[in-house]
Amino acid sequence: MFITFEGIEGCGKSTQIRLLAQALTTAGHRVVLTREPGGCPIGDQVRAVLLDAGNRTMVAMTELLLYGAARAQHLAEVVRPALAQGQIVLCDRFSDATRAYQAFGRGIDRQLVEQVNLLACQGLAPDSTLLLDCPVETGLTRARQRIDASSGPREERFELEALEFHQRVRDGYLALAAEEPHRFVTFDATGTPTQVAARIAAAVTRRLDAR
Ligand SMILES: Nc1ncnc2c1ncn2[C@@H]1O[C@H](COP(=O)(O)OP(=O)(O)O)[C@@H](O)[C@H]1O
Ligand SMILES: [Mg+2]
C-alpha cells in the first residue's frame, strides 16, 4: 500500500504523516515514512538545490526536471523495495505535487509534466492520496512559524512565492482530487492536529480494511 500526503505549504503534511505512521505502527503494520524531494542521499542533495531560496534564477523547466530526477532515484532506492516487501509506504509529497506546483502553479504545459512523471514513476501511482486542504493564508502562516523555529537550512524557496502562486497550487490540488475521486481523499486541515489525525486514521483504516 502506497499512500501519499499532499497539500500546500504548512497544511500539516509532515505533522500528520508522523501521527499516521505512529498509529499504523502501533496497530502492528510495517511502515516506511519517507518524503519528496529527498528520502535518500541523492534525493536529499537534489532537495537542497530545489528548496534553497538563494537559487532565485532557477527556471521552471529545471525545477520540473530536478523533481523528476529526485523521484526516479527515490522510487528505485526506497519506495519500490519497501512495497515489494509488503510494507506500507507513507510519502510526504509525490507526483501530484509536481502537477500542482509545476503545471498549475508555474504554468508548465500539463502534458509535459505528465511525461516527466511517467519517466520518473514508470507507471507506479499511489493507492491513496491524502490531500490536506486549508486556506493559503493559514498554511503560509504555519509554514513561516515552522521555518523560523527550525535550526536547519531555511527551505523556503516556495514559501517566498506570491500568494497568487499558492492559490493556484491549492486550486490545482482540488482540481486533481476531482479528476481522480477514487484515489484522493480530501481533508479539512484547519482543525487541531489531533482532530485532523483522527479523520485521517479513520479514512486510512477503512481503506486498509477494504483490501
Ligand atoms: N492542525 C494544525 N494546527 C495548527 N498548527 C499546525 C497544525 N498542523 C501542523 N501545525 C504546525 O504548522 C507548521 C507546519 O506544519 P507541517 O506539518 O510542517 O506542514 P507541511 O509539512 O504541510 O508544510 C508546524 O510548525 C506544525 O507544528
Ligand atoms: Mg512538510
pLDDT digit string (tens) for 103-139?
A: 999 999 999 999 999 999 999 999 999 999 999 999 9
Task: Find the 10 Cα to ligand 2 centroid distance in Å.
Answer: 7
Does residue 211 have a pLDDT over 90? no
Sign of the alpha-carbon dihedral angle for 160, 136, 188, 211: negative
Nearest to 135 by CA among 19, 39, 11, 46: 11
- Three-state DSSP class for residue 89: strand
- Measured CA to CA, the distance from residue 115 to residue 108 in angstroms comes to 12
- 130-157 per-position pLDDT tens digit: 999 999 999 999 999 999 999 999 999 9
Average pLDDT over residues 176-197: 98
Write the CA distances from 208 to 27, 79, 197, integer angstroms.
12, 18, 16
- Measured CA to CA, the distance from residue 159 to residue 141 in angstroms comes to 10
Average pLDDT over residues 12-20: 98
- Per-residue pLDDT, 180: 98
- Per-residue pLDDT, 56: 95
Task: Find the 4 Cα to ligand 1 centroid distance in Å.
Answer: 17
Average pLDDT over residues 67-71: 98
What's the whole-number average pLDDT of the chain? 97
- 161-185 per-position pLDDT tens digit: 999 999 999 999 999 999 999 999 9
- Per-residue pLDDT, 50: 98
Average pLDDT over residues 37-53: 98
Ligand 1 within 6 A of CB of 17: no
- Measured CA to CA, the distance from residue 61 to residue 10 in angstroms comes to 25
What's the fold here for domain 2-210? Rossmann fold (3.40.50)
Ligand 1 within 6 A of CB of 143: yes
Of all ligands present, the nearest one to the C-alpha of 17 is 1
Q: Which atom of ligand 1 is nearest to the CA of 132?
A: 22
Best mutation site among 8, 14, 15, 141 for ligand 1 pocket (most ligand atoms within 8 Å of CB): 15
